Structure 1
Amino acid sequence: MAIFGLIAGLVIVFMFLRYLPVWGVRCIHLFDIDEKELIVVDVRDYNQAYNDSVHSTINIPVAYLNRYFHEIPDKQIHVVAANPLEKNISIRFLRKKGYHVKSYTLTDGQCDKKLA
């Protein structure tokens, strides 16, 4: 019975870290970003970021964040992600490393549904 409780706890933690939205971070459009105050970090895959490029960003895919997070300057961050899963994982990781993530943009348009 204890093993079942341990497995259930691990599944709940896994689901929390991946799918539960991050609180306190606003979804805004890329047009509303002040590039003097925020560093834009694009966490999409390289091929997605190349095909749909965003001006003056630091492109570090989610899979490479652990290796290259130290290249991000110590300023407030705006995250560009392709889907909510990438957004949640990258924001939680960057917060854990001491960065202040102020906002995010989803390129698949889910942010537009929330703002409408």
Structure 2
Amino acid sequence: MFPFLILIVIIGIYAYKRYVPVFGVSEVISYSIEEDVVVLDLRDYQSTFNEPISESLNIPYSYLKRYYKEIPKRKLLIIATDAIEKNLAIRFLLRKKFQVIGFKVIKNNGGENQWNITSKQKIV
């Protein structure tokens, strides 16, 4: 019975980190970027090449643990491919003392990216 409880706890922690959204970080529908905000694009290089987002820093999630020190210590707006990638990245960045102010999940649909950035304005 005891090993069964340990297994349930481990599975619960795993599921929580992957599937439960991070409290205090909300999705950004439309936005403008202040000068002190960095747009961090976590999508893979091929998605970024096919649907680029201007003025963004591209570090795919799989490389985030290796290259997070290259991210400027400013407010971050996260762009991810799916909710799991977004949740894991935000939790990791918060542990590393980054300030994540919002996120946007962009599906890879092969279409034109409808997300544009307007610089030097406040986030809506």
TM-score per shorter chain, which class? 0.7 to 0.9
Q: Which residue of 1 aligns with 2:19?
A: 19
| CA drift at 1:68 | 0.2
> Counterparts of 1:6-85 in structure 2 under 5 Å?
6-29=6-29, 32-85=31-84
Give the structure with higher Rg (CA).
Answer: 2
Question: Relative contact order, CA 8 A, sep 6+: which one is greater?
Answer: 2
Distance 1:84 1:5 in 2: 28
Q: Which residue of 2 aligns with 1:113?
A: none
Matched with 1:102 is: 101
Residue range with higher mean Cα deviation, 13-22 or 32-41: 32-41
Which one has a larger percent helix, Structure 1 or Structure 2?
1
Cα distance, 1:36 vs. partner? 0.8
Compute the RMSD of aligned alpha carbons: 1.5
- How much has 1:11 moved relative to structure 2? 0.3
Deviation for aligned residue 1:7: 0.9
TM-score relative to the length of structure 1: 0.87
User: CA deviation digits over 1:96-115, x for unaligned, max 9?
Assistant: 11100001111139xxxxxx
Provide structure 1 residue ranges, at least 5 long, that are not aligned to the other structure: 110-116
Runs of 4+ in 1 over 6 A off after TM superposition: none
State the secondary structure of the residue aligned to 1:92: helix
Structure 2: 5+ residue runs without aligned partners? 109-124
**Equivalent residue pairs, number:** 108
Find the residue that maps to 2:38 and give its secondary structure: strand
Task: Give the TM-score normalised by the residue count of structure 2.
Answer: 0.82
